[in-house]
Structures are given as structure tokens and as C-alpha cells.
Amino acid sequence: MSVLSQRVLDGRAAVCPYAVFVDIDGTVCDSRQRVPSSGVRALREVRERGHRLFACTGRSVPEVYPRFWELGFEGLVGGAGGYAAVGQSVLLDERMPRGDIDALSRLWEDLDAFYIWQGPDQMGPCEGYLDFFVAGAGIEPGDWAEYAESICPFITDIGSGSFTKVTAYVPPAGAVLDAVQEALPTGYRAIIGSVGAGGYVPIEVLPSHLSKAVGIRAVCEHVGIPLSRSVAIGDSNNDVEAVAAAGIGVSIGSGCEALVEVADIIAPSVDAGGLAWGLATALAGADPRGQAQSGGRG
């Protein structure tokens, strides 16, 4: 591409920017929470070209480390869609009723699960959760120590806390998703999470009306960018609605069949430079379905 052509594309981006929503675990960083240098450069270039950049994650605010914000995100869709903010403007902040928190906590106890309640300003891990998770989530012992350090100032008692969603690690024998779904209070849904630990099955539960797509729509409306000029990039089950709703949807890797079915672009895995490749393809200014493997919408 000539310098003149690049300037033309950059000028178009500044006039008609895209809103770019990027998942964290499995998309920005790998299972050891390492961010590939190619991804760092790609995210910086998104901002330099005039696009708007937002994290879009199952993590809640206390779980998003300063080094993730330093990648250039100006806002967050967090808690898998229960929270959304741009700068200091909070657009969504939904919390579960106390009775449902109590009922779900009893369910996890009955299943011998380790679980953590997540909110934008409060975190409620069950007894033994941090020891289990930090030791089991990574490959090396210290891979997730940063996580414990990040959330510790926000830890509160589950019985009095206010939370958006819950993530549980269920022993394989009890981790039958249909059975878990049947046991949930009315109005909730269960999905498989993206961060494994200790051989247990990660299950996220959130209100049925919430998803990352809900947060994406709120952010797009707030910043004045139509949904048709949005890009959503993710790798797992909690990204399906976001990737389906966005103007351009990107699956990082092909490990989640439901995500592949709705994606316009199938990128390589995070370890193979998938974030940089996916961003470059989605924002190339041409029909992405003509430049990548075709997903369900392609």
C-alpha cells in the first residue's frame, strides 16, 4: 500500500471510525495472561487510525489490570454485559437480587464447586477460591498471582455484597450444563467460561437478558457510532452474542463451534498472532468475508 493510500484510509477512519470491542482472555492474552507483542502493536494502531477501542470481557472492573487499560482501551463492557462504561460515564450497572445470589451460592455448595461473585466494585470469592484458582489457572505457579493482587482490595462478604454475575468451577462429574441450567433460578442462563482451572469446568451464570451484545449496543449509542460500524472479537461462548451483533464479528481460533457459526472472520489463535491478524482483516476497508475463512455469516 502506498503512503497516499494509507493516508486516505486513515482519514476515512478519523471521519467514520469503527467501535472496536475486544475480549481479554483467549483474545488479548493467553492462558498465562501474556499479551503477544503483535497484539500490543495492533491495538495501538487501531487507536492511531482514529477508531474507538473498548475491552469487552467476562471480567469485572477489579479483574481488569492497569496493564490491560494501558493497551489503549477507553471503555469497558464488563461482567459479560452487565456493566458498561466509557471513561467516567457508567452506561449499565446491573446487579442480581439478594435472593438469587443466595440460591446460586447454595447450588454451587451442593456441587462442591469453587466460585466467585463478580461486580464492578465488589468481589465475593467463596472460601478457598483464590488458593484453588491461582494455583490451577495457569501453567507456572505465578501466572495468575496478579489476579489475586488485583481483586483483593475489592473482596467483600458474599452474604452482604452486590454482584453482577458468578463464575463457578464445578467438578467434572457435576458439570452437566443442561442439569445446571435446570437448577438455576428463573431468568438466568449458564454458559461455559473461557478460563479453566484445576481440571474443573468453568460455568458462568448471568441474567438471561444480559450479554456482551447488550453492552456493545449501549456503548455504540453513547459514542454515536452505528452498530453496523462495530467490530467484536472473541474466542469463547460468552462472545457469541457480541460477535453476532457487531457489524464485523471475529472468532479468535475455531475452538468454539457456536462462535465460528456466527463469525464473519475466523482468525488464528491468540498464540499465533490472531488478534493482530483479525484486527487487520476486519479493518482493512474491504469485505472481510473475501479475505478470510468464512464463518456462519460469511
Q: What is the pLDDT of residues 283-295, one digit of tens each?
A: 996 333 333 444 4
Return left, alpha or beta for 50; rule: phi > 0 is left, psi -120 to 50 is alpha, else beta. left
Question: pLDDT by residue (tens digit) across 194-246?
Answer: 999 999 999 999 999 999 999 999 999 999 999 999 999 999 999 999 999 99
What is the strand order of the sheet 188-192 is part of?
Answer: 123-125, 114-118, 165-170, 201-207, 188-192
Cβ atoms < 10 Å from Cβ of 272: 14
pLDDT at 238: 94
- Segments in the chain below pLDDT 70: 1-15, 285-298
Q: Please state, in angstroms and rounded to a whole number, the distance separating the CA atoms of residues 227 and 213.
A: 10
Q: Following DSSP, what letter does each residue of 70-135 receive, concatenated?
A: TTT--EEEEGGGTEEEETTEEEEE----HHHHHHHHHHHHHTT-EEEEE-SS-EEEPTTHHHHHHH
Q: Which amino acid is at 128?
A: G
- List, in order of start, the domains of the chain with CATH numbers: 3-93+211-290 (3.40.50.1000), 98-207 (3.30.1240.10)
> Which residue carries 471510525 as its cell?
17
